[in-house]
Amino acid sequence: MSDHFDVNAILSVFQEDLLKINDLQSIEQLKKIYLGKNSEIKKAYGLLKTLSDEDKKSFAAKIQALSNSIEQSLNHATNRIESETENQRLESEWQ
């Protein structure tokens, strides 16, 4: 059943979506889509109970690595947008 959870495909689509983001509200929307309670990642955690103990460890590690990667990317994007917004504000004050 874990075969239906493709880490690379999810990460690839996420990265494409992230490239389209240019405001903090959109980042929050992405966070809900990819890390929220109805996300594919949360659904994948539900699959753990159907796996053997051996498969559980490796699958859980994949899920966690994906979740961490997405979280980190969202944090970087948030910092970038906040910095750009602050720079624009400062530039407008000096004009």
Runs of H (alpha helix) within the chain = 7-19, 24-35, 40-47, 53-93
Q: How far is CA 33 from CA 19, 38, 56, 69, 81, in A?
A: 15, 7, 24, 14, 19
Q: What pLDDT score does 91 carry? A: 85
In this model, does residue 88 exceed pLDDT 80?
yes
Which percentage of the chain shows pLDDT scores above 90? 77
Tens digit of each residue's pLDDT (9 = 90 or more) over 17-59:
999 999 999 999 999 999 999 999 999 999 999 999 999 999 9
